[in-house]
């Protein structure tokens, strides 16, 4: 049963990723990206990461993707007939060969290693959000604060960038 | 039981798709969407290793990746609006003002 779900989420997310890159209309690309994000969040559920599932749906599908679609609708872009880069055909063959070799290496690798203390049974005791919270606010508190400062800086920067400069406004009035 | 290699393979295919999108698309917004695909591939990898090696660190870093993706989307879309205001084109091969 788990294998069926994994196959569904994996195949649909890969197809949606290819559609995001290949479709012509930017709004359709955005909707394909939405399908990709939701199915990747399904993979998170299969990996016992329920908190990340919720964060993925709320932040990615709910906030970031809406921002993308908002800018797409705001700019109302006309798609050119030539929507791929001029050198695109030359890139496809090296990409396919490289990816095949990478997959060959990955499937053969054993990926063993020392195990941590967060076994699935230990996480299920109090839930995934509890386990992440304990870890985040004990060992990763400094990084958490840095991310907060980073996001504040990013938002201020975005507002400063997107604001209409004063010189343009006065020129338009005159 | 699904092997760890399966998740890593899915993540590799998604990453290659995103990288190809960054390289071959002309529309700057689609290029940014391809970057989001690559960030998602990295997140799948981190969460898969976090589950199979029974450590919490992967999920913490995945949360940081999602926060950084939010910042990147905000800044990137602001840059698109600035470029679109000056010059009515968002094709990456026509933005060459800073090119040497």
* CATH code of the domain in which A20 resides: 1.20.120.1200
Supply the CATH classification number for the domain B4-94: 1.10.287.3510
- The strand pairing partners of B25, in sequence order, are A84
Given CB atoms, is B87 within the 8 Å cutoff of chain A? no
pTM, 2 dp: 0.88
For chain A, how many structural domains are there in total?
1
ipTM: 0.91
The token pair at B33 is 């969407």
Given CB atoms, is B60 within the 8 Å cutoff of chain A? yes
Mean pLDDT, chain B, rounded, equals 88
Given CB atoms, is B6 within the 8 Å cutoff of chain A? yes
**Do the domain assignments include residue A98?**
no
Nearest CA in chain B to A62: B70
The token pair at A120 is 């699935």
- The strand pairing partners of B27, in sequence order, are B91
Model confidence over A47-60: pLDDT tens digits? 989 999 999 999 99
Residues of A in contact with B31 (CB under 8 A): none
Identify the CA nearest to B63 among candidates A51, A119, A57, A158. A51
Nearest by CB to residue A158, choosing from B10, B14, B74, is B74
The domain spans of chain B are: 4-94
Model confidence over B14-56: pLDDT tens digits? 999 999 999 888 888 999 999 999 999 999 999 999 998 888 8
């Amino acid at each position: 049963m788990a294998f069926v779900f994994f196959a569904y989420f994996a195949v649909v997310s890969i197809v949606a990723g290819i559609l995001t890159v290949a479709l012509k209309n930017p709004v359709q690309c955005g909707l394909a990206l939405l399908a990709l994000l939701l199915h990747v969040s399904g993979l998170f559920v299969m990996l016992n990461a329920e908190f990340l599932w919720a964060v993925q749906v709320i932040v990615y599908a709910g906030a970031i993707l809406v921002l993308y679609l908002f800018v797409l609708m705001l700019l109302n872009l006309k798609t050119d007939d030539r929507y791929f880069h001029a050198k695109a055909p030359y890139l496809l063959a090296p990409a396919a060969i490289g990816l095949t070799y990478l997959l060959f290496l990955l499937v053969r690798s054993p990926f063993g290693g020392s195990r941590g203390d967060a076994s699935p049974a230990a996480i299920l005791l109090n839930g995934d959000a509890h386990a992440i919270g304990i870890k985040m606010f004990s060992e990763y508190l400094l990084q958490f604060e840095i991310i907060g400062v980073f996001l504040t800086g990013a938002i201020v920067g975005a507002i400063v960038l997107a604001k209409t400069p004063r010189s343009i406004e006065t020129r338009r009035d005159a | 039981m699904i092997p760890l290699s399966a998740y890593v393979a899915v993540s590799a295919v998604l990453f290659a798709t995103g990288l190809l999108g960054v390289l071959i698309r002309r529309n700057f917004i689609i290029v940014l969407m391809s970057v989001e695909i690559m960030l998602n591939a990295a997140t799948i990898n981190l969460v898969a290793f976090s589950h199979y090696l029974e450590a919490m660190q992967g999920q913490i870093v995945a949360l940081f990746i999602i926060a950084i993706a939010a910042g990147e989307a905000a800044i990137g879309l602001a840059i698109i609006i600035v470029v679109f205001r000056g010059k009515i084109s968002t094709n990456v091969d026509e933005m060459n003002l800073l090119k040497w």
